[in-house]
Structure formats: structure tokens, C-alpha cells
Amino acid sequence: MAEVKIFSGTNSQYLASMVADQYGKELGKMSIKRFADSEISVAFDESVRGCDVFLVQSTFPNADNIMELLLMIDAARRASAHYVVAVIPYFGYARQDRKDRPRVAVGAKLVANMLTAAGADRIMTLDLHAGQIQGFFDIPVDHLEGTSIFVPYLKARKLDNLLFASPDVGGVARVRKFATHFDADIVICDKHRKKANEIASMQLIGEVEGANVILIDDLIDTGGTMCKAAQLIMDRGAASVRAICTHPVLSHNAHDNIANSVLEELIVADTIPLKQDNPKIKVLSTAELFAKAIGRIRDNGSISTLFINYQHQITF
């Protein structure tokens, strides 16, 4: 059986080192250098010939993260790796998954094409913005679910009268998946945008009075939608509002928006490192989940056994 080696790009080493530790391996050694003009050079500092290579790199801003990952895949291929898996905890450009107006790029498909062309044999990721992005790839995609870490955390909080909310109509399926684990109802915030990151109006569909409401989304960017939805829910009589957002993009003044909002807690995963501390943000680790998934791939085991639907529990 091929040896497993885990490597990391520059900005995901904080997570990759924990994944490697959970798996029981040391993080592989590699050199990533930049020339004076910012061109990137990648080299493995140990042999990967005949190995199953797992390359951990989220593609959060800036675009150098994607370029690093592509070069890492190419280097592994040219160094005769047996199998190359791109472990992408946060898959960037996923919001550009369709032509929602004329003459625009479909960024998610472009990134999928580049990863495949670079030589990746398999993709592993967590909570894609849209599950159908898996269909953009002609190679296997392991789409892990954040419910595996968020549901046990919520159950440990022992909150009563729970109600789950979607900040937009498109996230209803995601919210319903959470609600089924608590036998709870859902409500929907129907929003209308003027343009990206700017909300024109928002309406609440459903009753929230007296409930402890949990807003669910795959990512939080500026925090505008989430904070506006939280305020709307509190104005309708909710007892409290919390939010679960897998990927903490948190750009621009997001931290201030969250700190000044009615949110009691924002629960996120560590797929993207926080740029600053925020007492309202609780970060849950995905390291054990990814390490177990790597083990399943190596042993040709079932990835679906890691989903919360199969009663998988991660300890805290």
C-alpha cells in the first residue's frame, strides 16, 4: 500500500499541521518561494515517488492560494506521486457557479478545470456553496458536511425551543438538514439584493417568537446579510439568535458588523484563519474530520460514514 504524505500551502499550514497530527503523521516538507515579481516557485523537499499525496490548501483570497495549489499538484505529478488529492477546506469562487446574468464567467467551473488540468486525481472539500459544483469535475469529489462538527456542538449547548433559519431562499435545503437532527422547524429570510454584498430588502417567512434561533449558511463574508437577518428575527420576538457559517471569509468591516450585531454567537470552522480575535466567534476544528477522510481514502473505505446522518460523533 502506498505511503501517505500530507503537505500544505503557505496559508493553510495552521490547519494542515493539525490534520497531519490527527492522522498520525508529520506534515511533509516543501519549499514555497516567491521571486521579486511575486512569481511563485514550489518544490517538495522529500521524495513523494509512489506516495499518496494529500495537498491541503484553501483557496481563500488572494488568488496566490489557487496558484500555489496548482503548482503543488503539478510538482507532485512530475515527482511521480502515485495519487494526488487536493484537500480544499474552503473552495473559493464557488459563488460564481452559474450565469445569473449575461456575459459573466462561471468561476467555479474554471477553477475545477484548472485543478483537473494540473493533474489532481481527487478533490476533498467541505460545505460547497452549491452541491452541484461537484458535477463540474470529471474526477471524484469528496464533499464533507459541516453538520459533523456543528450538530454535536449545538447538542452540547442544550438549548431549548430551537428554531433554524435560512438567511436566503437558496439555503433552505442546508437549514432543513440541520433541523432534522433536532426535530425542529425552520423559517426563511427572503432577501433582495441591489448588487453583491448590498441588500435592498429582507422579509421573514415564519414565526420566531420566544424561540432560540440558529441561522445557517455556508459562509459569512461582510456579515451584512447575517446581521440584518439576526436583527429582523429579534425584532419579531425571538429569545436569542446565533449563527453557524462554515467558512469565515469575514472581509472588510465584518468583525465590527458582528461585534455590533444582536448575534449572541457566530460558530465557524477553521477552514479560513481569523484575521483578528472576536469574542462572539467560536471556531470549531475540522482537523479530525479531514484526517478521518484521508484515512478512508487510503483504505478505500466509505466517506459517507463520516456524515452525521451515520451517527458519527466528534469529541470536543
C-alpha cell at 9: 500551502
Q: How far apart are CA 283 and CA 251, in angstroms?
A: 17
Question: What local confidence, expressed as pLDDT, does residue 288 receive?
Answer: 97
Taking only the tens place, the pLDDT of each residue in 47-66 is 999 999 999 999 988 789 99
Query: What is the three-class DSSP state of 299?
Result: coil
Range(s) of the domain holding residue 276 = 147-284
Q: Are residues 153 and 128 in the same domain?
A: no
DSSP state for residue 78 in the 8-state scheme: H
What predicted TM-score, i.e. pTM, was given to this entire model? Answer: 0.93
Instruction: Check which CATH number belongs to the domain holding 211 and give it.
Output: 3.40.50.2020
- Do 91 and 188 lie in one domain? The reply is no
Catalytic: which of 191, 194, 275, 282? 191
Task: Kindly report, residue by residue over 260-307, the tens digit of the pLDDT.
Answer: 999 999 999 999 999 899 999 999 999 999 999 999 999 999 998 888
CA separation (Å) from 94 to 105, 162, 282, 283?
12, 30, 24, 22
Number of domains observed in the structure of the chain: 2
195 burial via Cβ count (<10 Å: 0-12, 13-18, 19+): exposed
Residues 59, 136, single domain; the answer is yes
Give me the pLDDT at residue 191, please.
73
Please tell me the predicted confidence (pLDDT) of residue 1. Answer: 80
141 and 10, same structural domain?
yes
Q: Is 191 a catalytic residue?
A: yes
* Low-confidence spans in the chain with pLDDT less than 50: 310-316
The answer on 292 and 278 residing in a single domain is no
